[in-house]
Structure 1
Amino acid sequence: MSFEQFLFYFFSVVLVGAAVAMITVRNPVHAALFLVLAFFTSAAHWIMLEAEFLGILLVLVYVGAVMVLFLFVVMMLDINVARVREGFVRLLPVGLVVAVGMMVVMAMVVGARVFQVESPGRADGDYSNTKAIGELLYTEYVYPFEIAAVILLVAIIAAITLTLRRRPDSLYMDPAEQIKVQRKDRVRLIKMEAEKK
């Protein structure tokens, strides 16, 4: 067994263990930290596949931004852990069926002819996987890329719409009213007699 194969199996075992621990652990903060570990090991797989750009992007975007956001949300919410524990055993059969179905679909997709592609030649020193990803993304897969961008835009607008509600007890300022204000509305001069000692 070569050192590269050893690293692959090591990162694969850590990745599967982190994914299982993320699902089964009861503390939401620990689950988020196990997800960070899964992202790091996935990035190591990308780097071993000589897709350094995707590996670094996975660490920067998901670990650096998304997981920090998840941790802030999880820590700020008052999650009732007892209620979360109640449904675990009851929903375990459904989760196992979904997990087996996903594994079957993944095996069918990975075994398809689409993924049996020859590795691009890297003999020349001018090869850049970032350039290759960009050319492929903006030529052959430009429509799925634009559809994904529109779906994300709709999701952002929907999230803003769902959370932006007018509450009667919330304090807010109207900029038009602020602009119309004059000095006499805000400042009042009072004449007072000077105090004598």
Structure 2
Amino acid sequence: MDTLSLLFYTFAFVLVYAGFRVITAKSPVTAALHLVLAFASASCVWMLLQAEFLAISLVLVYVGAVMVLFLFVVMMLDINTDSLRQGFWKHFPLAGLIGVVIALEMSFVLTRGFNLPVAKPMAPDLAKMANAKALGVELFSHYLFPVQVAAVILLVGMVAAIALTMRERKDSKHQKPAEQVRVKKADRLRVVKVAAQVEAPVEVDANTQAGGQA
């Protein structure tokens, strides 16, 4: 076994173990940290396949942004996992059956999709470029319209998430930017004129002062 195969099986074993711990860990924080480990192992596998762009995207987007957000949410919500585990074994047979069906469907699609007798060769000009540069040229030349559609969908999702978060609720504080922009100084500041008060100096008796010095 060469070094490349040894590294692949090592990262694949860590990936499978981390994925198993994500769904079996009792603590949500532990599950999130194992998911970070799974993403890092998958990124290493992408590096072994010479897919540098996918590897660095997985680290920057999922590990660096999404999982950090997950950890913040899990720590702030303080979810009671005991109540969520109630009825687990009751619904386990149905969930297991659905999982097996999904696994069979994915296997069927992937095996048919990768069953190519001859791989399509890359264009000569793209073969000389780096992985990330070649992918960027393809995305923003031949697939520019799908990229723009995906960007609009992500923008709509982001606006919807902000709107749902800032909606008026009894248990949440919200702001109204329109009222904040229209506010005037007279609405927030009131100048009050207060008369100055000057206290008279206290006269000290000479005998008392002399006694104190002694």
TM tier, shorter chain? 0.7 to 0.9
Aligned residues of 1:53 and 1:129 also touching (Cα < 8 A): yes
In structure 2, the residue matched to 1:149 is 151
In structure 2, the residue matched to 1:178 is 183
Deviations 1:24-82 (A, max 9, x none): 21210011011001100110011001011221121122111111111010000021111
Indicate which of 188, 192, 207 corresponds to 1:188.
192
In structure 2, the residue matched to 1:93 is 93
In structure 2, the residue matched to 1:84 is 84
Taking structure 2 as the reference length, the TM-score comes to: 0.78
Aligned residues of 2:167 and 2:174 also touching (Cα < 8 A): no
In structure 1, the residue matched to 2:110 is 110
In structure 2, the residue matched to 1:75 is 75
Alpha-carbon distance change, 156 to 13 in structure 1, aligned in 2, over 3 angstroms: same
- Structure 1 gaps, min length 5: none
Q: Secondary structure at the match of 1:195?
A: coil
Give the aligned length: 195
Q: Which amino acid aligns with 1:175?
A: Q
Superposition CA RMSD, Å: 2.9
Percent of aligned positions with the same letter in both sequences? 43
Aligned residues of 1:29 and 1:74 also touching (Cα < 8 A): yes
Q: Which amino acid aligns with 2:168?
A: R
Aligned residues of 2:12 and 2:41 also touching (Cα < 8 A): yes
d(CA) in 2 for partners of 1:164, 1:154: 15
Aligned residues of 1:26 and 1:85 also touching (Cα < 8 A): no
In structure 2, the residue matched to 1:11 is 11
Q: Which amino acid aligns with 2:160?
A: A
Q: Which amino acid aligns with 1:179?
A: K
Aligned residues of 1:15 and 1:42 also touching (Cα < 8 A): yes
- Structure 2 gaps, min length 5: 202-214
Deviations 1:117-174 (A, max 9, x none): 357599x994300112112223443343333222222211221221212357847574
Q: Secondary structure at the match of 2:183?
A: helix
Q: Secondary structure at the match of 2:86?
A: helix
Spell out the pairing of 1:1-80 with structure 2 (5 A cutoff): 1-80=1-80
d(CA) in 2 for partners of 1:160, 1:171: 11
d(CA) in 2 for partners of 1:79, 1:56: 32
Alpha-carbon distance change, 57 to 178 in structure 1, aligned in 2, over 3 angstroms: same
In structure 2, the residue matched to 1:160 is 162
In structure 1, the residue matched to 2:207 is none
Structure having the higher Rg: 2
